[in-house]
Amino acid sequence: MTTPARTLHIDIPVKLTDVSIVFSIGALAFEGDLPASLFHLQLIIDDAATWGARSDLVAVFHTNAGHVTLHDQAYDGNRNIATGNPYKGLLAGLVQRGVRVELCGATAKAHGWVNADLLPDIKVNTDAMARTTQLVQQGFVKMTE
């Protein structure tokens, strides 16, 4: 006896020509061991590439997710471990694919972090709420992760 093929039918296909999204990432929720926000960023990058869409994606890390932007030594000190930042490769891959990764300046100040504590290509904004507001006013869609 053969098993019938299982297929997924997409009832509402989506194809966009312009993708401008700011991801507000204040805490990490996980899909298995992968932070969902990083998985979703990868997913929308892949979608935009498939669609041939123009994309502008900004990930703003703040509050309880700011540590994701730290280099190994700063990460270890902040998290009280000695394993290094497990997210640095994922962030580098996102940056390489055009995602702008930012850290909330208020979060950095609250933790005593300085620019020298950050991974390469991480920019610091005034604060996550002001930056998210600015991008929404410029037409970005806000995703809260």
What is the reported pTM? 0.94
Burial of 10 (0-12, 13-18, 19+ CB in 10 A): exposed
Using the predicted structure, report yes or no on whether residue 85 has a pLDDT greater than 70: yes
- AA identity, residue 14: V
Q: At what angle do helices 36-51 and 88-96 cross, to 10 degrees?
A: 20
Q: What is the mean pLDDT of the chain?
A: 96
Average pLDDT over residues 16-24: 98
pLDDT of residue 145: 85
Using the predicted structure, report yes or no on whether residue 1 has a pLDDT greater than 70: no
**96: enclosing H helix or E strand:** helix 88-96
Q: How far apart are the first and last CA of the chain?
A: 45
User: DSSP class of residue 5?
Assistant: P
Q: Say what percent of the chain tops pLDDT 70.
A: 99
Q: pLDDT tens for residues 26-62?
A: 999 999 999 999 999 999 999 999 999 999 999 999 9
Average pLDDT over residues 61-84: 98
HSE-up of residue 103 (Cα within 13 Å, Cβ side):
29
Average pLDDT over residues 8-28: 97
Distance CA 68, CA 74 (A): 10
Using the predicted structure, report yes or no on whether residue 4 has a pLDDT greater than 90: no
Per-residue confidence band for 3, with pLDDT thresholds at 50, 70 and 90: confident
